[in-house]
Amino acid sequence: MRRAVFLDHDEPAGSSNLGKRRRAVFLDRDGVLNRRRLALVRKPSQLVLLPEAPEAAARLSKAGFALAIVTNQEWVSRGYIARADHDEVMRRVVAALEDAGAKVEGVYAALTPETAKPRPAMLLQAARDLGVDLAASYMVGDNAKDVLAGRAAGCRTVLVDPRLRTAIQGANARADHVCRALPEAADWILSRA
């Protein structure tokens, strides 16, 4: 893993990597990489990775996409999840992806509502840090906030919806593609690369 960034305020605009413009896939954590629980994933023992997610991430990485995890984690700053537990959950997620052959280049966690999706702060910061061309990149998430953040950043968007029930949120009308799981999202992204 290249770096972990915890956003608790909007970062100033900058362009530290303008010379290295490349494609990226921004991955939401809960519901895309691990099973979304009715309750929060508060402890590492509660983490259940989705079985085919690490291999799907590895396919994207091997195809040349920079991978960054972008996750809303305001619960940490509110005291519902201990920072050490959050960090261990993230370490385990990254380790599982990298064990499958993916290269996770950044982990971005929004700790406050001001930086959380649907605002694009994490994607914009990752683009600056990693030298990413947002117009050639993808945001993969499991709810309307993810789709809106991707759109606001100028990315194509993929909505992961295991039960294909997104009409309730209306997110399916805004996403460029809707699928059941990350492997299908990877197939769709790779078919356009």
**CB 101 within 8 Å of CB 61:** yes
Q: Does the active-site annotation cover 187?
A: no
Name the catalytic one among 10, 28, 85, 161.
28
Residue 30 bears catalytic tag: yes
List of residues 6+ apart from 188 with CB closer than 8 A: 158, 177, 179
**Which residues on neighbouring strands pair with residue 66, listed in sequence order?**
24
Residues in Cβ contact with 56 at an 8 Å cutoff, skipping those fewer than 6 apart: 181, 182, 183, 185, 186
The one catalytic residue in 10, 30, 85, 176 is 30
Here the tokens at position 167 are 């009409």
Residue partners of 191: CB distance under 8 A and separation at least 6: none
Active site amino acids: 28, 30
